[in-house]
Chain A
């Protein structure tokens, strides 16, 4: 695994290996000195063409806990439009002898494109590309589910909200399917469901109450405020009325159900504060596990590319 671009390229054993590796890193978090020397001397570039707090900082922490040097570069896409092409930006960073690029970009396929053109010693990790994929988020979600509920083959998982624009949902569906999840449901009005979504192996519900019945995991997606302008939904109010996660709706799910959200949450739009802060919410644990999962992915990527280099030399 030189690059980590999309969940769909991995099999169940590989996903499980990443989750197991992540598990071994959770102990680092509890140590007084929260560092292991696995990536000492390596340079990791956080290359973000789109704003992000959670993903960027947890990647940065993950890299630092592995003793790597970290460079944070935020590039507004307008800057690349001004003249320097994406590839030129890439080549100049590559010339600084970096080892891993963690890439976030507003366009689907950007990480894939960069991976196709990058020098052979550099690994690319996709930290979200357009609507396409956000594989590390999906893995940390899978990790969170496994920590709480163990076996995927027994679980019903519901993903609620803006599936259409969500790279998180696409990656989650792939990861959950590969891990053998019993049933994956998506719940949204048709305007927020991509065409042919059922072909990804999910049950489609437009009615939230029906969709939430007896599920073990509820993943709420963030609703972007711009969606009202695009005529996807009439108002935040009506959206919350129909799809917002309230204690009353949560009661429809299995009593042990956990509530997840990739963040940042919109209280009162997709989720009520009672639920977000309630006992079934694992939203903050997702953030915490994100560090361990990203440590796992970074360490696996480096060990693969080191092996490859030693083979070649």
Chain B
């Protein structure tokens, strides 16, 4: 299969390209950029005039819900949604049932993803057995099976000693630990940011200190042990400042935030809108500004969707009883481009945050369009406006606070390993 993408505006931060350029793809690889190879005859031509051509997006955190939670979503439905979002590589979490704490679960997920064939799926394994926070998972076996890292997600560890040993052991296996900085006791069953909204609605709040205290604690251990750690879903201004300082001190850390944290605040909860129930919670305007500065300055090097599809019923309850998390894959790109429209990020830096940098954090070869490298790409109409609706969301999870919102920028084509895996119907 030979494919060419012509006349598009190619933005490939990893290769320092930002210009109108043609891309030529054969046998799953990029074979040339700008000038076609000798005797070139394409099977398929995509006219990308007026469009952006980007490396396939890399998503740091998508819950695919399979195995065990197929009522929420399946690998097939969510990888199809990924393709429609321009995402060609994603990392999935071990919070399945059973938990991904053994090679068998990793292999099952890999097998199902390959069968679906819509997105490269990388697995982040469990840091502790059953995510129970007590004993270590068999990390070497997980790594051998293909895990790109380990995490305990938002499940607490039993003690600081378990954390120390988990960090040390993961580092011996050269596995990145994906850490969600949250002091569970300070969070104390909270479900919103502790501030005006928690006061107004009488909902138990999660103070900013639940994040910063846990972060400080982790930083102390990381400084001592020199273990590579990635901090997931930073939500507060103060945590951004702490990470910036720690990075200046050359600690081996990286950090991300989610796309909705860059757009929403606790005020969006209005009168108990369960679709805005998320962990960590959406915080204040000052926090959102802090996150935007963090992303701009590179303290937060990646932006992720933090995709968490749920069945409708999961949100049909009083606020505190709703399941936290939003279905966000399909809004990652338009909401990232919105940061460009709002002059928070340049186009190159915005693309870098959702391609090159998450790929580096995951340690995978993706997020760039190098000649001779894998042909994972997407084509985007940056001017197209569309309304996000139940009907056009491909994810089985319809749980997004952006439903019925007008979005600008839409993926028109997604190419995975040289094959067209998504094409917008109206295109």
B203 touches A132 (CB 8 A): yes
B198 touches A109 (CB 8 A): no
Any A CB within 8 A of the CB of B320: yes
Any B CB within 8 A of the CB of A310: no
Residues of B within 8 A of A194 (CB): 198-199, 205
Q: State which residues 18-77 of A face B: CB under 8 Å.
A: none
B203 touches A108 (CB 8 A): yes
A133 touches B202 (CB 8 A): yes
Any B CB within 8 A of the CB of A130: yes
How far is the CB of B273 from the nearest CB of chain A, in Å?
10
Q: State which residues 109-160 of A face B: CB under 8 Å.
A: 109-110, 112-113, 117, 129-133
Residues of A within 8 A of B317 (CB): 85-86, 113
How far is the CB of B177 from the nearest CB of chain A, in Å?
31
Residues of B within 8 A of A195 (CB): 194-195, 198-199, 205, 207
A86 to B316, CA, bound (A): 9
A107 to B202, CA, bound (A): 9
A87 touches B201 (CB 8 A): no
B272 touches A112 (CB 8 A): yes
A131 to B198, CA, bound (A): 10
B202 touches A108 (CB 8 A): yes
A-B complex: 9 closest residue pairs judged by Cβ atoms: A132-B202, A131-B202, A109-B272, A107-B318, A110-B318, A108-B202, A109-B319, A109-B318, A113-B318
A85 touches B203 (CB 8 A): no
Choose among A85, A131, A132, A199 the residue that contacts B196 (Cβ–Cβ < 8 A).
A199
A113 touches B198 (CB 8 A): no
Q: A85-B313, A113-B272, A195-B205 are in contact. Are A108 and B318 (CB under 8 A)?
A: yes
Instruction: Please report A residues at the B interface, Cβ cutoff 8 Å.
Output: 85-87, 105, 107-110, 112-113, 117, 129-133, 167, 170, 194-197, 199-200
Any A CB within 8 A of the CB of B271: yes
B198 touches A170 (CB 8 A): no
A109 to B201, CA, bound (A): 7
Residues of B within 8 A of A199 (CB): 196, 199
Residues of B within 8 A of A110 (CB): 318
A85 to B272, CA, bound (A): 18
Any A CB within 8 A of the CB of B321: yes
20 A-B residue pairs with Cβ-Cβ distance under 8 Å, sorted by A, are A86-B318, A107-B319, A108-B203, A108-B272, A108-B320, A109-B271, A109-B272, A110-B318, A113-B272, A113-B318, A117-B316, A131-B204, A132-B203, A133-B202, A194-B198, A195-B194, A195-B195, A196-B195, A197-B199, A200-B199
How far is the CB of B101 from the nearest CB of chain A, in Å?
28
Residues of A within 8 A of B201 (CB): 108-109, 132
Residues of B within 8 A of A200 (CB): 199
A246 to B420, CA, bound (A): 79
Residues of A within 8 A of B271 (CB): 109, 112
Residues of A within 8 A of B318 (CB): 86, 105, 107-110, 112-113, 129-130
B205 touches A107 (CB 8 A): no
Residues of B within 8 A of A105 (CB): 318
B272 touches A130 (CB 8 A): no
A110 to B274, CA, bound (A): 11
Residues of B within 8 A of A113 (CB): 272, 317-319
Residues of A within 8 A of B320 (CB): 107-109, 130
How far is the CB of B161 from the nearest CB of chain A, in Å?
24
How far is the CB of A264 from the nearest CB of chain B, in Å?
20
How far is the CB of A84 from the nearest CB of chain B, in Å?
12
A117 to B205, CA, bound (A): 26
Residues of B within 8 A of A131 (CB): 202-204
CB-CB nearest in chain B for A130: B202
Most A CB contacts (10 A, CB to CB) among B204, B207, B318, B320 go to B318
CB-CB nearest in chain A for B207: A195
B319 touches A167 (CB 8 A): no
How far is the CB of B271 from the nearest CB of chain A, in Å?
6
CB-CB nearest in chain B for A198: B199
A279 to B154, CA, bound (A): 55
New contact pairs (15) apart from A85-B316, A131-B204, A196-B195, CB-CB < 8 Å = A85-B313, A107-B318, A108-B201, A108-B319, A109-B272, A109-B320, A112-B272, A113-B317, A129-B202, A129-B318, A130-B318, A195-B195, A195-B198, A196-B199, A199-B196
Q: A85-B313, A112-B271 are in contact. Are A107 and B199 (CB under 8 A)?
A: no
Residues of A within 8 A of B195 (CB): 195-196
How far is the CB of A103 from the nearest CB of chain B, in Å?
11
Most A CB contacts (10 A, CB to CB) among B198, B199, B207, B317 go to B199
Residues of A within 8 A of B313 (CB): 85
A112 to B201, CA, bound (A): 11
Residues of A within 8 A of B198 (CB): 194-195
Q: State which residues 302-326 of B face A: CB under 8 Å.
A: 313, 316-321
CB-CB nearest in chain A for B204: A131
CB-CB nearest in chain B for A113: B318
Q: A85-B313, A110-B318 are in contact. Are A170 and B202 (CB under 8 A)?
A: yes
Residues of A within 8 A of B203 (CB): 108-109, 130-132
How far is the CB of B14 from the nearest CB of chain A, in Å?
43
Most B CB contacts (10 A, CB to CB) among A133, A194, A197 go to A194
A87 to B195, CA, bound (A): 30
Residues of B within 8 A of A108 (CB): 201-203, 272, 318-320
A196 touches B196 (CB 8 A): yes
Q: State which residues 182-211 of B face A: CB under 8 Å.
A: 194-196, 198-199, 201-205, 207
Residues of B within 8 A of A130 (CB): 202-203, 318, 320
